[in-house]
Structure 1
Amino acid sequence: MSTPPSPPGAERTDGSAVRIGALVPLTRPGWVEAGRHLLAGLELAVREVNDAGGITGRPLELVVRDTAADPQRAAAAVDELARLGVAALAGEYHSVVARAAAARADALGLPFLCSSAVLDALTEQPTQWVARLAPAQSRGWRVYADFLLGAGHRRIAVAAQSSPYWAAGARVLRDHLAPRGGTVVELDMRALTPAAVCDELVAHRATALLLLVGHPEPAVSIVRSVRRDQRLAEVMIGAPAGQPEFTEWAASLGADGAEIPFLRYLPERLGPLGARVGTALRERLAEAPSFVAFEGYDTVTVLADVLRSHGVDRARTAASWPRVAVEGTRGRIRFSRAPGIGVWQWAWPPVQVVDRDPAEPDRLRILHTG
């Protein structure tokens, strides 16, 4: 695509701050806890960049906008941040929201490094303006499907709400499991109560139920209903989207929230940088940092490196994605073009399937890596 000229204010040589726009879900119906962790990672990295001298002597400033899981609100925030002269965009957790932000960023010629959203089709067409740190949904959810097969599950039910993200996840599971002898039955949560879900699991003889639904509701109610149904004592509950990662899950469900495998994008063992950042994030959050907090930190780390190396001109930033080679908290970050994905993609973020230990719900157990 053609490269539009940078607008006035996108390239400045005085001592004013270099501004990055941050899109974060901080209020309901957004996943507020995920937003809080994402913002903690972004802010920690900005502080460290400034402690090290900023961007060639200019301070780095984060301009935060709350998306509240609303695509229209996110698109409007992109417009506003572009007018404010930010050098780039960062953040967002919800895939459908990130897709709306990416579309506006592409239209405006504003570089966007997406931190956490995984939907493969983040943009309708290939774009030079958008890059992503999180693994594509097709990769992460195939790893989850391999975990299910390895655990002996062939008859899988998914309790699904209507959303492009959930529909894409169900499609990945079905396409990966079917050639390997697995079946996926979709349970439409627009029509079923949690009690009715239990009846459907019995009728279909499912050995696993995956929660493709929002948190806290209806996820919490479904888990409680299944756990209390004696007919389903052997049914595994799973949450590939990662709802059990956050302490709010354990607080809502207690022991019922353990042994529910989910996807997590961290290595088995953090290196020295990851360990140091993990300690700082724990202090900032007053709890164990989620993988989302590390994604936030890595986002600013990448953008700061690009801005130091190539200046704050938006077009030069977008052109630099294929030349990025930055040490992040979870490995060396490089971007490439992946088949079927229209944005620059970090191809190899670590992927784990983990759950909460029933004997110690604050401890996470690694069950599978991919």
Structure 2
Amino acid sequence: MDELARLGVAALAGEYHSVVARAAAARADALGLPFLCSSAVLDALTEQPTEWVARLAPAQSHGWQLYADFLLGAGHRRIAVAAEPSVYWASGTRVLRDHLAPRGGTVIGFDMRALAPAAVCDELVAHRATALLLLVGHPEPAVSIVTSVRRDQRLAEIMIGAPAGQPEFAEWATSLGDDSAAIPFLRYLPEGLTPLGARVETALRERLAVAPSFVAFEGYDTIVVLADVLRSHGAERARIAESWPRVAVEGTRGQIRFSRTPGIGVWQWVWAPVQVVDRDPAEPDRFRILHVG
């Protein structure tokens, strides 16, 4: 961030991981550097409100509450989370627990620093969990956990979920084959793309030779917003930051506007569309929409 600021950039775009985005947003605020965050969902992206940062991705509390509603609707009340230490995973677990507990749900935490993937199976049986959520890195230990659970006959009825979206990516299907399917996750796409989104999907599919992930549309929408801001307000940093509340841009997934939202210290699109989807067991390259928020 410091080096880019010294190079004189007008604004920054990105990025992929909430923990890194949090550090970048704090530095952007300190430097007075406009930062448009594409994909990171952590609610507390900054410690205090800032005028310099705007975000396209929905806050974790919004998306993960919708995921909790999906779990309840599917009949799950005893939900295990296999989690690694991270402010992101801890925040997600807290959202799930706070939303599920008043509705009769229980969240059981497994510390993956202390458990081997195979040992997760015994814990699931002991706690009578009906769903296991993977709050861990990909490919490992996520792939090993899925493989162990799928091979354990005692857990034939358990649902595996991955709210952070690991199954979206082609590497997931390559690593797990048929085991990659029927693992619900969050993605930030509408049921139907805008005309711009449809054109972008066609262009990206031709270039990539596979269907683009929802992260590709987040990235493209970031470019659309910044291009509009720069055309309308120029490349002076303060003017860019002042323009966030005046943005009204048709993106790939709907019209994008930023506003202030309680509990969130950055300018926020309220909200990007949210789906719970999984890979179809009959055709793992096809996604099924299970729940829409």
TM over 0.5: yes
- Aligned with residue 213 of structure 1, among 127, 130, 136: 136
The equivalent residue for 1:294 is 217
Structure 1 letter corresponding to 2:256: I
For 2:205 and 2:28, how far apart are their aligned partners in 1? 32
- Aligned with residue 325 of structure 1, among 231, 234, 248: 248
Shift of 1:143: 0.6
- On the 8 A contact 2:36/2:54 being kept in 1, the answer is yes
**Superposed, which structure 2 residues align to 1:62-101 within 5 Å?**
78-101=1-24
TM-score, normalised with respect to structure 1:
0.79
- On the 8 A contact 2:184/2:278 being kept in 1, the answer is yes
Shift of 1:139: 0.3
- Aligned with residue 163 of structure 1, among 64, 73, 86: 86
For 1:97 and 1:354, how far apart are their aligned partners in 2? 26
Aligned-pair RMSD on alpha carbons? 0.5
* Structure 1 outlier segments of 4+, above 2 Å: none
SS in 2 for 1:200: helix
**Superposed, which structure 2 residues align to 1:1-370 within 5 Å?**
78-370=1-293
Shift of 1:92: 0.8
SS in 2 for 1:320: helix
Shift of 1:177: 0.2
For 2:25 and 2:207, how far apart are their aligned partners in 1? 29
Structure 1 letter corresponding to 2:172: W
For 1:299 and 1:80, how far apart are their aligned partners in 2? 21
Alignment deviations for residues 91-147 of structure 1 (CA, whole Å, 9 cap, x no partner): 111000000110111100000000000000100000000000000000000010000
The equivalent residue for 1:44 is none
- On the 8 A contact 2:194/2:251 being kept in 1, the answer is no
Alignment deviations for residues 173-220 of structure 1 (CA, whole Å, 9 cap, x no partner): 000000000000000000001111100000000000000000000000
SS in 2 for 1:158: strand
Structure 2 letter corresponding to 1:95: S
Structure 2 letter corresponding to 1:297: Y
TM-score, normalised with respect to structure 2:
0.99
Shift of 1:283: 1.7
**Bigger Rg over Cα:** 1
Structure 1 letter corresponding to 2:191: E
**Structure 1 unpaired stretches of 5+:** 1-77
Shift of 1:260: 0.1
- On the 8 A contact 2:224/2:251 being kept in 1, the answer is yes
**Structure 2 unpaired stretches of 5+:** none
For 2:4 and 2:235, how far apart are their aligned partners in 1? 15
Alignment deviations for residues 296-334 of structure 1 (CA, whole Å, 9 cap, x no partner): 000011011111111111001001100100000000000
Structure 2 letter corresponding to 1:268: E
For 1:253 and 1:358, how far apart are their aligned partners in 2? 12
- On the 8 A contact 2:57/2:272 being kept in 1, the answer is yes
For 2:192 and 2:74, how far apart are their aligned partners in 1? 23
Structure 1 letter corresponding to 2:162: A
Q: How many percent of aligned residue pairs carry the same amino acid?
A: 87
- On the 8 A contact 2:81/2:109 being kept in 1, the answer is yes
Shift of 1:279: 0.6
Shift of 1:271: 2.2
SS in 2 for 1:294: helix
For 1:197 and 1:217, how far apart are their aligned partners in 2? 14
For 2:292 and 2:212, how far apart are their aligned partners in 1? 20
SS in 2 for 1:90: strand
Alignment deviations for residues 227-266 of structure 1 (CA, whole Å, 9 cap, x no partner): 0000000000000000000000000000001000000100
For 1:332 and 1:157, how far apart are their aligned partners in 2? 37
Shift of 1:342: 0.5
Structure 2 letter corresponding to 1:339: P
